[in-house]
Amino acid sequence: MLNQSIKAFLLNEAKKRFLRYVKIDTRSDPESKKYPSSDGQWNLARMLKKELDQIGLIHVELDPYGYVYATLPASRSVSGPKITFCAHIDTSPSVSGTNVSPTIHKKYGGGLISFADEKNLTLSPEESPELLKFVGGNIITASGGTLLGADDKAGIAEIMASLAAFQKFRDLSHPELRIVFTPDEEIGKGTEKINREKLGDYGYTVDGGEIGELEDECFDAFEAELVFRGLNVHPGDAKNKMVNAGAIAARFVVALPEFETPERTEKKEGFFHLTAIKGDESLARIRILIRDFERKNNRKRIELLKKLIRVFELRYWGLRVETEIKDQYKNMKKILEKHPEAVRIAEQAIQMADVEVIRKAVRGGTDGSRLSFMGMPTPNIFAGGLMLHCEKEWIPEIALQKGAEVIVNICGLWAGGNLPRLDHRLN
């Protein structure tokens, strides 16, 4: 167990770094052809490189694609696997990240939280029941009109705080650590240009939600982009001639199963998720995410899309639909169930921080999925943020400390050789 001075140091370090990082607009841009997709990500990447140098890590590098790498050599007499900690630099493009003003609501009383810059915006326990777990503690939100950026700047801050602690408290043992901060995770490109040779044998993404979450399973994911090509004719003479691509694309979306959408599903139910629709009479585009925990179920959804396209092309003479389907990532459970030690160590590390372990599957993606399939088993641990990707995003201040504690505990378990018993496989 960590003593109070180390815990206080971790809280102070993680908090001050987090409040600094969230002020940098790092939204990724799904329409960009650049890598990383937005200039703001470079600003935070350069800051992190400088701070890693200041802490005293070696092989600190900001590469041409916006990845930040660094190494912390193992403590004296410690050998064993090299461990990677990973968090992503970008934030969601769905809500503004410009001029984020973090606000600390001290000694939260259990009622409504208001936002200084948006008078009609409130956050309530009815919307986010987890708030009631932190009555009396400090809650951090944005000031209104922007997201906060806890996804994943909280994860970055917690990793950085733990690295600072290893340099200050030399009796904290750790294996060799390989750090990587990735760009463009929010648009599915977090590992697209990553250098596997700079990473370790096992990894942990610090990118989960509520305190205590530990995830070794995620969605299997595809993305479909459909281009509808029609024929625009003057509306006064359009009967039996016009093929209105925009209207047909809208009807196509409505034809998808309504109860297989994110707003109608939960737990391990899969879905179609419309993320973009735009166009006119001549040409329209739609983008659909296809998600499930079983690849065979996603294959069925893809086949349904193809059948529906054929039906629409028969129904609307002259319509052409072009389709591109991308395989985005796979369920990381396929790899992690073969390496239960990685998850079991994280589980014990969370318990050592006096936090209840919340085992769940990620209804989303994680860099850990692709990293696992690259040969580095990488479960996901909490960063602490909730109501992510919206103006009501919040994080309990204590999550910044607990996240950093868990990282330090994971390192101690790997370094000490006193690993949790692996007497049965994880479910």
- Residue 130's pLDDT band, with cuts at 50, 70 and 90, is very high
> Catalytic annotation on 90?
yes
Tell me the pTM: 0.87
**What tens digit of pLDDT does each residue of 78-100 get?**
988 999 999 999 999 989 999 99
What's the average model confidence in pLDDT over 53-75? 97
**207 given a catalytic annotation:** no
Report the DSSP pairing between strands 394-396 and 320-329: unpaired
11-34: b (≥16 Cβ within 10 Å) or e:
bebbbebbbebbebbbbbbeeeee
Distance CA 326, CA 32 (A): 17
Q: Where are the beta strands (DSSP E) in 299-339?
A: 320-329
What is the mean predicted confidence (pLDDT) over 243-254? 97
The active-site residue, picked from 90, 184, 220, 391, is 90
CB 167 within 8 A of CB 144: no
Whether 421 has a pLDDT exceeding 70, the answer reads: no
pLDDT per position as a tens digit, 337-369: 999 999 999 999 999 999 999 998 888 878 899
Angle between the 340-352 and 397-416 helix axes, to the nearest 10 degrees? 130
Ordered by where they begin, the domains of the chain are: 4-218+331-416 (3.40.630.10), 220-329 (3.30.70.360)
Question: How much is the average pLDDT of 56-72?
Answer: 98
Q: Give pLDDT tens digits for 252-297.
A: 999 999 999 999 999 999 999 999 999 999 999 999 999 999 999 9
**Structure letter (DSSP) for residue 240:** T
What are residue 419's phi and psi, to 5 degrees? Answer: -85, 150
* pLDDT of 125 higher than 70: yes
- Catalytic residue, chosen from 151, 158, 185, 281, is 185
Question: Is the distance from CB of 216 to CB of 284 less than 8 angstroms?
Answer: no
